Amino acid sequence: MRREPPRSLADYTPLVFPALMLTVFFVIPFSTMIMVSFFRRDPAGFFKPDFVVDNYARFLSLFFGNVLGFSLMLAIIVALCCVAIAFPFTYLLTKQSRKVQTVWLVCLLSVLSLSEVIIGFAWSTLFSRTAGITNLFVWLGLMTEPQALLPGFGAVLTGMVYQALPYTILVLYPALVRLDPTLLEAARTLGASPIRAFLNVVVPALRNTIVATLIMVFVFALGSYLLPQILGRPQHWTLSVLITDQAIYQSNIPFAAAMAVFLVLMSLALVGLTLLVGRRENAG
């Protein structure tokens, strides 16, 4: 059956339910959130309708500036670590047999789908004094006694790289699996070693994919809301953690909403940038 434009109103029927659901339960909640970001906090309930910009004015504080700066820095480091580990890995993975690829993909998906609560709990156990990795080091004679490796920046970073790594690999996978194999063959025939061919042919050919992936992982890392809280100290809190904290524990939903609007704008700008980079890749 050819694709054809809808001719009558009846042809639109399949669209009714999805359009209704997505509008009522995504567009409206989203708009509600923007609206609430101008409301005033109500200590007795959730919020009171109003029109104030106080919630946005609070962005100008040093505290908020610090949290924002830390969130951005952390997300950038996570993105760089993940792409640095995942790019060679995914490249090597696509050279494996179908079966090996399938097994790895199943494992990666299983880790990716894990709840942030479980990832946080698992790493806090691994970094703990009583059941942690330092016991292994003691046993090997590398340390004299076990110690806790958390809370700390290292623990937060490790947890977040763990969370984002499967995502990074799965984002890179389609581009690398479809990479024209003749490119590499040509390089090899001309006498390049595999590592040289990888660095001088594969990496430059996928430069835009790498940039787009960095941005995707950056946005993904910005969304981490529990790991900095479980594995870090209060100074390691990110914007997402702060939003959750304000919304639930401080019951200041209007301020949380204002920060969420800010986070949306930032993420959208970055996703837009990714699409732009992707378009250039397809054009070039």
Partner 1 sequence: MTERLLRRFYFFLVGLFLAAPLIVVAGVSVNEKQDLAFPPKGFSLDWYAEIFVNPEWRKALVASILLALSAAAIAVAIALPLAWFLWRRIAPWANIFQLLGVAPFILPPVITALGFLTFWANAGFYGQPWTAAISHAIFFVTLPLVTLSLGFASIDRSLVEAASTMGADDRTVLKTVVLPLILPYLVSGYAFAFVLSLNEYIVAYMTVGFTMETLPIKIFNALRYGYTPTMASVSVFFVAIAALVFGLIARFGDIRRLLGAMSSDSN
Q: Which of residues 211-240 bind partner 1 (CB under 8 A)?
A: 219, 222-223, 225-226, 230, 240
Rounded Cα distance, 255 and 55, in Å: 5
* CA dihedral of 115, 120, 123, 129, whole degrees rounded to 10: -140
Least separation in angstroms between residue 201's CB and partner 1 is 16
- Per CB under 8 A, 264 contacts partner 1: yes
Q: For partner 1, which stretch binds (CB under 8 A), given 50-58, 59-67, 205-213, 251-259? A: 251-259
246 DSSP 8-state letter: I
Distance (Å) of CA 198 to CA 106, 122, 190, 236: 26, 35, 14, 37
Least separation in angstroms between residue 204's CB and partner 1 is 21
Q: Which is nearer to partner 1, 214 or 257 (CB)?
A: 257
Looking only at residues 119 through 138 of this chain, which bind partner 1 when binding is defined by CB under 8 A?
119-126, 128, 130-133, 135
- Per CB under 8 A, 1 contacts partner 1: yes
- Per CB under 8 A, 155 contacts partner 1: no
Binding mask 93-112 for partner 1 (x = CB under 8 A): -x--xx--xx--xxxxxxx-
Least separation in angstroms between residue 15's CB and partner 1 is 5
Least separation in angstroms between residue 159's CB and partner 1 is 9
Long-range own/partner contacts, residues 229-232 (CB < 8 A, 24 or more apart): 229/120, 230/120, 230/121, 230/123, 230/124, 230/159, 231/120, 231/123, 231/124, 231/127, 231/150, 231/151, 231/152, 231/155, 231/156, 231/158, 231/159, 232/150, 232/151, 232/152, 232/153, 232/155, 232/156
Least separation in angstroms between residue 257's CB and partner 1 is 6
Strand partners, 40: 48
Least separation in angstroms between residue 62's CB and partner 1 is 23
Tokens of 249: 């524990």
Q: Select the residue interacting with partner 1 from 38, 70, 167, 173 (CB under 8 A).
A: 173
- Per CB under 8 A, 174 contacts partner 1: yes
Smallest CA-to-CA distance from 232 within 150, 118, 172 is with: 150
Number of residues that bind partner 1 (CB under 8 A): 94
